[in-house]
Structure 1
């Protein structure tokens, strides 16, 4: 077997790992529950390491990428802040390397029984949407495109900007935090500490909240999705609500960046036109001069909910720049 590369996507509700061949072919996937913010950094780092080990092949991969939902510094060393993750200005890249080393020595408390032995991989860390954008550029819906926006809709909203065929990280590595743009002044409180953030109106948690208000009981995202696919009117209205907010927020981004295409990924986007139909209508209705300009196509991510993990593995293979 040739060299392999592993990517691990750390989200608000789950940790998803993938293994790619050197040619970028997806060979294996594994999922572990996200321990949650209250469990603390150690528990999350262990979940990341264990998920990675779940997809190891005959030996350790050549490199391992970690895709994390939040602010990652320009060096790719430190995770600064994330509303749904417990790290605060922490050297996460090195911490995960250390955790893998401990597991290899058998002192990390949880290495899989009989797991492969060998040199530990180099670890690369980046923001989840940057990883997803890179995956879509290399092998997905933005392949061959010079300018694009990526919006990931999961527990919250992530984003990335592609200009001249490159993911733009900004002066401090923090570009693309679309979910925490203020959509409603003095609006709903957000886990980030602000109010009225876009992700409070368009995200997995927003979907659950809108449905709970309408039904008077809590349903999680997959349950709402199943109802919507079965034609339930309340669930369909919930998707229409967050889809409309998706289109309104996207219009502001299109006005700022004028991309060729807008790619929508993340777990919530898996419903396709239930979300994207209302979003396209709201985008067209919220953008100035649509009779005189091109409205960019709003398309689903070609690599689906695995884009972040795949992108992390590809960045580990190609080098984070």
Structure 2
């Protein structure tokens, strides 16, 4: 049976048809709308488009937010419009197909455990770097969701008291310093403090800070821009700092770094590993987690959501 996995992120809605071996056969993509109803329209359009080319048996939605323990409703999504929304029921009625929800990082972690970088790991953590940070914990191959379905929300660990404001309502969350959004914010701050220091990135921005995206910062760093390289170094430091906290709590065997920012991992991951190893509790006297990039790349959420949808139908 073919199923559709949809990664519903703060920036884009990406859908893919996935087979039982985890292969993505077909995809479609659209910008994430700002309202709840338009977002459901976008999901419907994506599934209907893919259904014209494939016979679909079920749909899984990987959502950047809190999902209830029965995986039927979205409690809260910092970067999306849903609040206490029975999304699975509504989408099942609209599509005429079984629909299941999952936190996007949980979905990506499951995909990596079944088909990718965390295969066989007893305890694995996923850190998905995108618009924000998604976190997931797998124990013996099973997703740990906590008592109410919201664990582990790693991106909103507070790492800087009274730091940068976060859409979740707090200040100083880890994702405000270690994500695609954070990378652009850091670059803009550095350009303001050091006018004239940037070359490539300044041309990209053309005087408009809104044009400085995380992707552009990574590109400028590859081209030797000093501000962009410094922004990547900051991201690496905060990634290592956060991973040390994660290791102190969960003691994972493997940490998988995924999300869109992981495409630029060669620019920051070695530095992040070094920082993690230097600050984790008991450094030098404990085994360190293997820190790997997601083998499934940006498709991990899609593959995981589709896999969960297939399993849901199989249990019925």
TM-score by length of 2: 0.90
Q: In the alignment, which of 200, 208, 212 is matched to residue 176 of structure 2?
A: 200
RMSD, aligned CA: 1.5
Alpha-carbon shift at residue 124 of structure 1 (Å): 0.9
8 Å CA contact retained: 2:3, 2:309: yes
Question: What 5-or-longer segments of structure 2 have no aligned partner?
Answer: 193-207
Q: In the alignment, which of 281, 303, 307 is matched to residue 288 of structure 1?
A: 281
For 1:290, what is the secondary structure of its paired residue? coil
Q: Distance in 2 between matches of 1:92 and 1:231?
A: 45
Structure 2 matches for 1:47-58, cutoff 5 A?
47-56=42-51, 58=53
The aligned counterpart of 2:291 is: 298
Deviation per CA, 1:257-281: give whole Å up to 9, x if none.
Answer: 1110110000011101212122111
1:91 paired with 2:86, answer: yes
Structure 2 matches for 1:4-153, cutoff 5 A?
4-36=2-34, 40-56=35-51, 58-100=53-95, 120-153=96-129
The aligned counterpart of 2:197 is: none
Q: Distance in 2 between matches of 1:68 and 1:236?
A: 31
Q: Distance in 2 between matches of 1:59 and 1:237?
A: 46
Question: What 5-or-longer segments of structure 1 have no aligned partner?
Answer: 101-119
Q: Distance in 2 between matches of 1:226 and 1:206?
A: 15
Alpha-carbon shift at residue 188 of structure 1 (Å): 1.6
8 Å CA contact retained: 2:166, 2:172: yes
8 Å CA contact retained: 1:160, 1:168: yes
8 Å CA contact retained: 2:57, 2:98: yes
8 Å CA contact retained: 1:17, 1:29: yes
8 Å CA contact retained: 2:62, 2:104: yes
The aligned counterpart of 1:112 is: none
Q: Distance in 2 between matches of 1:285 and 1:206?
A: 23
Runs of 4+ in structure 1 over 6 Å off: none
Alpha-carbon shift at residue 308 of structure 1 (Å): 0.6
TM-score by length of 1: 0.89
1:158 paired with 2:121, answer: no
8 Å CA contact retained: 1:269, 1:275: no
Alpha-carbon shift at residue 50 of structure 1 (Å): 1.4
8 Å CA contact retained: 1:62, 1:121: yes
Q: Distance in 2 between matches of 1:88 and 1:153?
A: 23
